[in-house]
Amino acid sequence: MKPSTESAKVGLSEIEIPDDLRIFVPDPTPPEAYPIVTYSWLLLYETYNDPAKAAALRNVAQWGLTEAQSFSEELGYVPLPDSLVSKATEVLSRVK
């Protein structure tokens, strides 16, 4: 299996996304999936003492989940699946 954006997408495509977003992909099952694929993580608190800091972090994370996805492939990353973007946006809304 050659590493490619498509084979990596397949490796991430069948993952069930838990509420806490803790996702591990030890060995994707589809035969056309690249076997070494994972996500990069961003850790945020749910509550910040400074509302401006919370808003800034939410804004940059939301940008990363939406507009920044268009830069993924040219930077050597795999665009996030829509299901993960949706779930991550939901979780991100809890950051205050």
In this prediction the pTM is 0.86
The model's pLDDT over 20-76, given as tens digits with 9 standing for 90+, comes to 898 888 888 899 999 888 888 899 999 999 999 999 999 999 999 999 999 999 998
Nearest alpha carbon to residue 15 among 92, 88, 71: 88
Q: Which residues 6+ apart lie within 8 Å of 4 measured at CB?
A: 34
Amino acid making up residue 89: T
Kindly list the domain boundaries of the chain, sorted by start residue.
Answer: 5-92
What's residue 32's pLDDT?
93
Please answer whether residues 48 and 57 qualify as being in contact, where contact means their C-beta atoms are separated by less than 8 angstroms: yes
Rounded to 5 degrees, φ, ψ at 69 are -60, -25
